[in-house]
Chain A
């Protein structure tokens, strides 16, 4: 089964510092990986995806993610955090065709950026 794990429930970082939100995956075959962000009482917003190609993927709002096959990781990063980045972040892996390509989500990591 395709699955992802987010080992941290919460990440705290000071504004202006770099941030990392961790994600590891377990898949059979090539992984199709995604990052989404959720603000309170809102739907999820797509940030970026990895399908194939460069291991460093750039996405929305200055976020990027690094795909590491040997460590089976797909960590989300940003060089300089903003207070407005505070939100809930979800890592996800795409399921197979017999699941309608539905996404399997991690439990989420709450990011708090303090001024």
Chain B
């Protein structure tokens, strides 16, 4: 059963703590992405990676970090420097084959609540 998994589905943390969100794909996709979703704001790009051991900042990378040690995995760490971390986080992946670039497949999301 191919797809993207994210865990956990719900996550609660105290302010000042770092937290890591998991994202795994078995679609053999080269590119992976992290988006943040807030009500009424659509999705905003946090980080992306097109190849193992390389990743780039998106529009709202401050307070976040990522790693890409394996093609299948792209974990996101929300650090204590992120001023407003409570949000719904979505991971996506995409092939980079001609004609299919940008066609992203999304995981089920992780809802993070920081109090």
Using a CB–CB cutoff of 8 Å, the interface residues on chain A facing chain B are: 9, 32, 34, 36, 41-46, 49, 51, 90, 94-95, 99-103, 105-108
| CB of B94 closer than 8 Å to a CB of A | yes
A46 in contact with B42 given A101-B94, A102-B33 (CB within 8 Å): no
Cα-based distance from A1 to B4 in the complex (angstroms): 29
Chain B: interface residue total (CB-CB under 8 A): 31
Interface of B, helix, strand, loop or mixed by DSSP: strand
Number of A-B contacts (CB under 8 A): 65
Chain B residue at minimum C-beta to C-beta distance from A49: B103
16 contacts across the A-B interface (CB closer than 8 A): A34-B102, A43-B107, A45-B106, A46-B103, A90-B43, A100-B50, A100-B56, A101-B101, A101-B102, A102-B33, A103-B45, A103-B104, A105-B42, A106-B42, A107-B40, A107-B41
Q: Are A43 and B109 in contact (CB under 8 A)?
A: yes
**Interface members, chain B 45-59 (any A CB < 8 Å):** 45, 48-50, 56, 58
